[in-house]
Chain A
Amino acid sequence: MNSHTISLYAAAIRHAILDHEADIECLDREIGDGDHYINMKRGCEVIASMTDELTALSAADALNKIGMKLLSTIGGASGPLFASFFMSMSKTLKGSETLNTLQMALAFEAGVQAIMQRGKAQAGEKTMLDVLIPVANTFKQMAEQDKSSQEIATALKQVASTGLESTRNMLATKGRASGLGERAIGHLDAGAKSCEVMIHAVCDAVLIS
Chain B
Amino acid sequence: MDFFTIVQLGDASIRMAIPLLLACLAGLFSERAGIFDIGLEGKMLAAAFLSAAVSFASGSVWVGLFAGIGISIALSVVHGLASITFRGNQLISGVAINFFAAGLTVVIAQGWFAQGGRTPSLSGAARFDGIDFPGALTRVRDKMQASPGMQFYSEFVSGHSILVYIGLLCVPLTWWVLYRTRFGLRLRAVGEAPEAVDTAGISVVRLRYTAVIICGVLCGIAGAYLSTAVQAGFTKDMTANRGFIALAALIFAKWRPWYALGACLLFGLFFAIDNRFQNIQLQVIWIMVLLIGVSVAMTSYALKREWIDKVVLGGLSAVLTLLALLTWNAVAGDTVDDQVIGFGAALFETVKVPSQLIQSLPYLFVVIVLAGFVGKAIPPRAGGQPYVKER
> Are A and B bound to each other?
no
